[in-house]
Amino acid sequence: MRRWAHRTHLAGLFLAAAALACQPTDRATPPPPPPPPTSPGGVAVTDDAGRRVTLSAPARRIVSLSPAVTELLFALGAGDWVVGRTTWCDYPPAARAVPSVGDGLNPNLEAVAARRPDLVILYRSALNETAAQQLARLGIAAAVVRQDRLEDLARAAGLVATLTGRGAAGASLARGIDSLLHAPAPPAPAAARRRVAFVVWDNPPMVIGGGSYLDELATLAGTENMFHDIPAASATVSLETIAARDPDVIAVLADSGAPAVPAWAARREWQVVRAVRERRFAVLGGSLFARPSPRAPQAVAALRRALAATR
């Protein structure tokens, strides 16, 4: 009995994490109801969950429950109107001055409501869609935004810009992202063209797959993610497969100030991977690589530098 209670509890945690990690497939949305008349100066959008969000005026007290949205809001010049953020919102530095309302995974609605927001923006997940409905019942407008990959970013920027009355800034940001995505990348220097495997956990070995932002960055940087063929954003793979695919460089994500070589590189089973044996690691630090953001061009450049810097 206890074991089951324990397991199912862990399973709950896991599902929450998985819901965050996976990119939910678009399900058929019911035909939207006719848009209610907006008052003069009001704004109305359809969010990424297919819900109609209407505001009588552009939002001026915003709670952001996603680090990517927080960064986007500041980039759009709406940072002054952010009155609540998650514990994970660490960029730009000014965002840290905003009060935190929790970790944003399973929103504490009371803490959110206490900030008296006129708009709450949530990351798209099953849990958050429920939370958005609950907020709507409390009379608080809530929008759900998907921001898993670079192509989501332009649309998310348009949506958030409309809701905050920063249409012009949103349009220019979206153009910038589009040109990054579609402009032919300048040829990468030979050193940056090394084939890379992004290893995010060592036991069991987890790598970044083709459905991720990092994979897009790798392509833009002119290198090859060796696990591009896995459609998921990340996946557990066999160490044997990493050894057989033989990447030139192992890229690891780390907090700033992490050592240049991860601790697990000392474990014996990893020595079968050539890049580990030769200690060819690229440490990608900080929030730059953690989420799709207007800083994508910097992220591409930083990835190139990190790859070029490995021996």
Partner 1 sequence: MRWLGLGVAAAAAFVLAVVVGPAHVPLANLMTSDIVRSLRLPRAILAFLVGGALALSGASLQALVRNPLADPFLLGLSGGAGLGAVLAIALRIGGPWALPLAAFAGALVAMGLVYRLGLVGGSALDPRVLILAGVAVGAFASAVTTAIVSLSEATQLRNAFLWLWGGLSGASWDTVLVACVYFPLPVLVLLAAARPLDVLALGEEPARHLGADVEPLKRRVYLAASLLTAAAVAVSGVIGFVGLVVPHAMRALWGHQHRPLLPAAFLGGGTLLALSDTVARTFVAPRELPVGIVTALVGVPVFALLLRRWTAS
Q: What are phi and psi of 221, to 5 degrees?
A: -80, 0
Point out which span in 25-33, 157-165, 212-220, 240-248 binds partner 1 (CB under 8 A).
240-248
Task: Kindly give, in sequence order, each residue whose CB lies less than 8 Å from that of residue 227, ignoring residues fewer than 6 positions away.
Answer: 197, 198, 207, 208, 209, 210, 235, 237, 245
Residues paired with 130 in a beta bridge: none
88 belongs to the binding site for partner 1 (CB under 8 A): yes
Give the burial class of 207: count Cβ atoms within 10 A of its Cβ; 0-12 exposed, 13-18 middle, 19 or more buried: buried
The residue (of 57 and 272) whose beta carbon lies closer to partner 1 is 272
* 243 binds partner 1 per the rule CB under 8 A: yes
79 is an interface residue for partner 1 by CB under 8 A: no
**Per rule CB under 8 A, count of chain residues that contact partner 1:** 41
Residue 264 interacts with partner 1 (CB under 8 A): yes or no: yes
Q: Residue 106 — left, alpha, or beta (φ > 0 → left; ψ -120 to 50 → alpha)?
A: beta
Q: Does 237 bind partner 1 (CB under 8 A)?
A: yes
Check residue 252 for interaction with partner 1 (CB under 8 A): no
141 contacts 125 by C-beta, under 8 angstroms:
no
Q: Which of residues 8-37 bind partner 1 (CB under 8 A)?
A: 9-10, 13-14, 17
- The answer to whether 175 contacts partner 1 (rule: CB under 8 A) is no
Can residue 201 be called a binding residue for partner 1 (CB under 8 A)? yes
Task: Give burial (CB, 10 Å; 0-12/13-18/19+) of 112.
Answer: buried
Contact 114, 84 (CB under 8 A): no
279 binds partner 1 (CB under 8 A): no
Binding site for partner 1 (CB under 8 A): 1-3, 5-6, 9-10, 13-14, 17, 87-88, 103, 200-201, 203-206, 227, 229-230, 235-241, 243-245, 263-269, 271-272
